[in-house]
A and B are shown apart, each in its own frame.
Chain A
Amino acid sequence: MNKRLSSLFSNLACAIAAVVFCAPFVQMLLNAFKSNDEIMSNPGGAPIRWTWESFADLADPHRSLLRDLANSIVIAGAGTFAAVILCAAAGYAFAKLHFPGRNLCFAALLATMMVPPEVIYPGQFLMFSRLGLIDTLAVQVLPTITPVFGLFLIRQYMLSIPDELLDAARIDGAGPFTLFARIVLPVSAPVLGAFAILHFLAEWNAYLWPSMVATSDRVKPIMVALPQLVDPTIGFLPIYGTIMAGCVVATLPLLAVYLRFRDSFLASATAGSIK
């Protein structure tokens, strides 16, 4: 009896939690299919009149939201590509190669993780403005391409590659570069993929730095554009139908990746904590 009661309570608690954590997603999806006006009178329920007009609104040339989406893809894609290449090469060097000062250098890199990126924004902003890079796509990509956390993650994985495997290839005459390209990279594919997903997600969702350095429509990412969407005639009133449609479009690809690679995401949460 006691056992059944406790099982009932457990299921109930989990069910409530699941509803609380998912309901906003359902609300977002439903609101995306309402007109901007209907959301005002019916913010929660199913649409009285289902419509695609909010999605069509995203393609409105005056709003340039499609370009903002394209900007986000370019920024997050280029940043992720560069970060994965740089971290993989450096991870290989720190895990499997020997050069003077290697361990000291790695320890120093780890120590810099203590400094939050926001602290150095004034320095970065002035540097990029002197280089004439403010309000470009590049200024949004460059600060993200050397994530020490990614280097650490990838190096830890590469440490587990057996030296015998590399030695065997060395006897066959393979140099460090061949070893890297033919053995280390393919073997590390799982960690590189997991890191790429996380890094892409972080860049796609970034807000503070882009909102400071990317102000013109030409280079704005979608996350900076969405909060600024207001009614063109009244001015200050946010147009929630269009905003929610934008949120849905910006979230669905990530949702698909999450559901497909769920275990990598869940493992990423515990990567730093379980020693």
Chain B
Amino acid sequence: MSKQRRATGLGHALFAAPFLISFIGLFLGPACYALYLSFTRYRGFGVARFVGLENYSVILAYDAFWTMLGNTLFYWVAHAVPMMAIALGLAIIVQRRAVAWTQTFKTLVFLPQILASVATALLFQTFFGTHYGLLDRMLGFDTPWLTDPDLARWTVVAVLIWRSTGYWFIVFLAGLTTISPEIDEAASIDGAGAWRRLWHITLPLMRPTLVFAVVVDAIVTLRLFAEPNVLLGRAGALAPTSVAPLLNLVVEQMRAGLFGAAAATGWLLFALIAALTFILFRLMRERAA
């Protein structure tokens, strides 16, 4: 019997074959092609000319690249700090069973997750719209929330906080419930106040979950596209460069037929994500040691 279980064969690989073949054709192939493209100048027709690292050096010397990268990093930091604090705060409150309607609360807070980012952005247009928007109506002002770049970037941050808090709240709540309540009780008996227990017990024990949250949220935000563009672009157009995220450059280059440059921008984004993930994990591990 055990011999039969150990039986290996290429026949068994047939079950994996449809996935693997599709994956090679639809992902791995195009990925390798995109890597090759990034070293060429190619407009989608004619001959692809090999240019070495020229695409990369041109992009790195391009103002708009740094503007968009700066915008993206701003969107990440500006939403992640308050969002993580709110999500963790709510999770701690709910975990201490101070609120009776936990199930309802979880359902409501997670709700923004199922709304499409496009619908979310359109919804917030009716909230932030100049003069006609709900916010300006309530305040009685004509504030150009969506058209003044300095204000507009904060509306994107508001949307990101609104959308992502519920998700991380659920994750943090699950993380908190894995912490044994005895540790907290013991510290409480020893006379540690609520804030000291939070700082010296809860937060250190939550470190792995928090690191995971920061890394995943950073990756998601570096790939930001729909929210700023639908919110700040007009009728399906791209958002202006002053508030555009990094992926806009890839889209603009593809629309201009600069496939080599678009591919290079894409791989720069990948390098950024890989580097950020590495640094964050390293940083957190050093702190823990």
Residues of A within 8 A of B (CB): 6-7, 10-11, 13-14, 17-18, 20-22, 24-25, 27-28, 31, 39-41, 43-44, 85-87, 89-90, 92-94, 97-100, 102, 105, 109, 112, 114-127, 129, 142-143, 145-146, 148, 151, 163, 166-167, 170-171, 176, 180, 201, 204-205, 207-208, 211-212, 223-224, 226-230, 236, 238, 240, 243-244, 247, 250-251, 254-255, 258-259, 262, 265-266, 269-270, 272-274
Known contacts A21-B112, A119-B34, A207-B225, then 18 further A-B pairs from the complex at CB < 8 Å, ordered by chain A residue: A14-B99, A17-B105, A24-B112, A24-B162, A25-B111, A43-B129, A89-B16, A89-B18, A92-B15, A112-B28, A119-B269, A121-B266, A226-B118, A227-B118, A227-B122, A227-B233, A238-B235, A270-B171
- Asked if B270 lies at the interface with its beta carbon under 8 angstroms from chain A, I say yes
B123 touches A28 (CB 8 A): yes
A93 touches B93 (CB 8 A): no
Given the known A-B contacts A27-B134, A90-B19, A99-B8, are A243 and B122 also in contact in the complex, defined by CB atoms under 8 Å? Answer: yes
Given the known A-B contacts A90-B15, A116-B273, A122-B266, are A270 and B174 also in contact in the complex, defined by CB atoms under 8 Å? Answer: yes
- Across-interface contacts of B110 in A (CB, < 8 A): 262, 265-266, 269
A24 touches B123 (CB 8 A): yes
5 A-B pairs in the complex with CB atoms less than 8 angstroms apart: A40-B132, A98-B6, A98-B8, A121-B262, A254-B114
- Across-interface contacts of A240 in B (CB, < 8 A): 122, 125-126
A44 touches B166 (CB 8 A): no
Q: Which of B1, B23, B174, B251 has the most CB atoms of chain A within a 10 A radius of its CB? A: B23
- Across-interface contacts of A11 in B (CB, < 8 A): 98-99
Closest to B271 in A: A119
Q: B21 → chain A, closest Cβ, in Å?
A: 9
A227 touches B235 (CB 8 A): yes
- Across-interface contacts of A259 in B (CB, < 8 A): 107
Closest to A224 in B: B236
- C-alpha gap A208/B212 in the complex (Å): 26
Q: Which of B90, B104, B111 contacts A13 (CB 8 A)?
A: B90
Closest to A39 in B: B126
B220-248 near A? 1/0 per residue, CB < 8 Å: 00110110001001111000000000010
- Asked if B74 lies at the interface with its beta carbon under 8 angstroms from chain A, I say no
Given the known A-B contacts A170-B4, A227-B230, A270-B174, are A120 and B22 also in contact in the complex, defined by CB atoms under 8 Å? Answer: no
B109 touches A18 (CB 8 A): yes
Q: Which of A10, A20, A105, A163 contacts B96 (CB 8 A)?
A: A10
- Asked if B37 lies at the interface with its beta carbon under 8 angstroms from chain A, I say yes
- C-alpha gap A229/B122 in the complex (Å): 11
- Across-interface contacts of A43 in B (CB, < 8 A): 126-127, 129, 132-134, 137
- C-alpha gap A199/B34 in the complex (Å): 25
B171 touches A163 (CB 8 A): no
Given the known A-B contacts A120-B27, A208-B247, are A93 and B230 also in contact in the complex, defined by CB atoms under 8 Å? Answer: no
B33 touches A126 (CB 8 A): yes
